[in-house]
Amino acid sequence: GKSGYAHFMHKEIHEQPESLRRTIQGRVNSLTGTVALDEFPTDAFADVEQVHLVAMGTSHHAAMYAATLLAARGIPAYAFMAGEYSLARPPVTDRTLVVAVSQSGETADTLDAVRRARSAGARTLALTNVVASSLTRECDDTLLIRAGPEIGVAATKTFTSQVTALVLLCERIVADATGASSRESRDLLESLSRLPGDVQAVLDTSTAEAVARAYAGSDAYFFIGRGIAHSVALEGALKFKEISYEHAEGFAASELKHGPLALVTEQTPVFVVFSGRHDEMTLNNAKEVQARGAPVVAVTSRTDGEIAELADHVLSIPETHPDLAGVAANVQLQLVAYHAANLLGRPIDKPRNLAKCVTVE
C-alpha cells in the first residue's frame, strides 16, 4: 500500500534514505576506503579501455551522470540513448565495457543495444533493479541497485540508486584500471556513507511545495546545470513534464546563449542546479536569465550573499562531495515536480500515454 501517502510517487520519494542505504550496504570497505563489489573478481576491470553507457529516459540521465564522473577520472566514457546506440554502432572491442542502465531490465531499446554490442565483441554489464530480468540474462555481468519495487511510473528512488550504484562502479573501475586507491576516492566514499542522511535532511526541510505553488501557471519551466548538474537538470525537466504535463526543458547551462535563452521571459522560472564544481560559471548563466526577468530557483548548498541576491528561491541541499551533490539536488526536483503535478490534480502515479516499462522500440 501507500503507507499513508496520497501517491506511490510521494512514498517512493520518501523511501530514498532507506533505498540508498540498501544500495550502499556492504559495498564500501570503510577501513581501506575502497569499494567492495563482491559481484566482480579482483581486477575484473583492469583491462577496460573505455566505457559506453546505454539507457533510455531517466536511466539515460543516470548514465550521463556516470559518464561525466568516469571521464573526469581519466576513463574514456560516453553515455548514449540506447535507441540511438543501436543505429550509430560506435566501434567496440573486447576492452570496451558496455554498461546498460535500466530500472526494469526489460526496455526494448536497451536490450537491443546490448545485443548488438555483445555480438560486436564488447563486454556487457547490466545495472538494474530487477533480479533475473531479461537484461541480466543478456549481459555478462550484473550489478543490482537494490532500490526495491517502484510502483509509480515516474522513476524516483531508482534514479538515485542508479547514480549511487554507478558511483560505486566508477570507483571500482578507476581503482582496477589505475591499480591504486586514491585520496580522492576515499573522500568520495566517506561522503557516500553520509548520503542517505543528506537525503533525509532534504526531505525534512524542503520548501519545494512553496516553490511549486509560487510558480504555478507559468508558461514553461527550465532547468540548467553543467557537468553532473546537466544530467540532473535534464532529469528535473523530464520528471516535471511527465507528471505535470507542463512544458519543461533541461539545458546545459553552457548551451543557454546558443538558442534556449530566446525562450526565457518573466513567465519562465529557471531552476539552476549547482554541484560545487564550476559554480562561478553557472552563477553567470543564472545572472543572464535573471536579466531577462526570469525567476531563478537555485538548487545549491551555498548560502552566501551572491546566491541570496540572485535567487528568488533556494532549494537547499547539504554540503557534500561535488560528485554526489546531484543526488540531493535531484530529490529537491522530484519534490517540485510532485507538488506541481499535485496542485494541478494530475494522476501522478499513472501519467497519460506513459507506461512503466517500454518493451517495444
Residue 300: CB minimum distance to ligand F6R, A: 24
Catalytic residue among 2, 239, 350, 356: 356
Stretch that binds ligand F6R, among 10-18, 51-59, 167-175, 189-197 (CB under 6 A): 51-59
- Please choose, out of 50-58, 117-125, 215-223, 318-326, the segment that lies near ligand F6R by the rule CB under 6 A: 50-58
- Distance between CA 168 and CA 130 in Å, rounded? 18
Residue 186 backbone phi and psi in degrees, to 5: -60, -45
Among 23, 59, 142, 290, binds ligand F6R (CB under 6 A): 59
State the minimum distance, in angstroms, from the CB of residue 244 to ligand F6R.
12
**Quick one: 161 or 206, whose CB is closer to ligand F6R?**
161
Residue corresponding to grid cell 546506440: 85
The distance of closest approach from Cβ of residue 242 to ligand F6R in the complex, given in angstroms and rounded to an integer, is: 6
Q: Beta strand pairing status for 34-35 and 28-29? A: antiparallel
H helices present in the chain, as ranges: 8-14, 16-24, 57-72, 82-88, 108-119, 134-138, 157-178, 183-205, 208-214, 228-244, 279-291, 305-310, 325-343
58 binds ligand F6R, rule: CB under 6 A: yes
Q: Given candidates 19, 96, 104, 185, which one binds ligand F6R under the rule CB under 6 A?
A: 104
Told to check if 110 binds ligand F6R by CB under 6 A, we report: yes
Is residue 285 within the footprint of ligand F6R (CB under 6 A)?
no
Is position 201 an interface residue for ligand F6R (rule: CB under 6 A)? Answer: no
Residue 295: CB minimum distance to ligand F6R, A: 25
Residue 155 near ligand F6R by CB under 6 A: yes
- For the residues of 245-263, what is the DSSP string, one character each? -S-EEEEEGGGGGGTGGGG
Of positions 13, 56, 98, 297, contacts ligand F6R by CB under 6 A: 56
Phi, psi of 21 (to 5 degrees): -60, -40
Contacts of 81 (CB under 8 A, 6+ apart): 54, 55, 56, 60, 109
For residues 13 and 209, give the distance between their C-alpha atoms in angstroms, rounded to a whole number: 14
Give yes or no: 11 in active site: no
> What is the separation, in whole angstroms, between the first and last Cα of the chain?
32
Chain position carrying cell 541497485: 145
Site string for ligand F6R, 319-358 (x = CB under 6 A): --------------------------------------xx
Interface characters, 224-243, with ligand F6R (x: CB under 6 A): --------------x---x-
Contact with ligand F6R (CB under 6 A): which of 107, 124, 300, 330?
Answer: 107
Residues in the chain: 361
Closest CA to 315 of 247, 219, 225, 253: 225
The reply on whether position 154 binds ligand F6R by CB under 6 A is: yes
CA distance 313 to 295: 8
**Cα atoms in the Cβ-side hemisphere of radius 13 Å centred on 118:** 17
Mark the segment that binds ligand F6R (CB under 6 A) among 52-60, 117-125, 250-258, 275-283: 52-60
Q: How far is the CB of 322 from ligand F6R (least distance, A)?
A: 25
According to DSSP, residue 219 is labeled: S
- Our finding on whether 296 is near ligand F6R (CB under 6 A) is no
Number of Cβ within a 10 Å radius of residue 249: 18
250 binds ligand F6R (CB under 6 A): no
The answer to whether residue 102 forms part of the interface with ligand F6R (CB under 6 A) is yes
Q: Summarize as ranges the residues that interact with ligand F6R (CB under 6 A).
A: 56-59, 102-104, 107, 110, 154-155, 238, 242, 357-358
- Active-site positions read 356
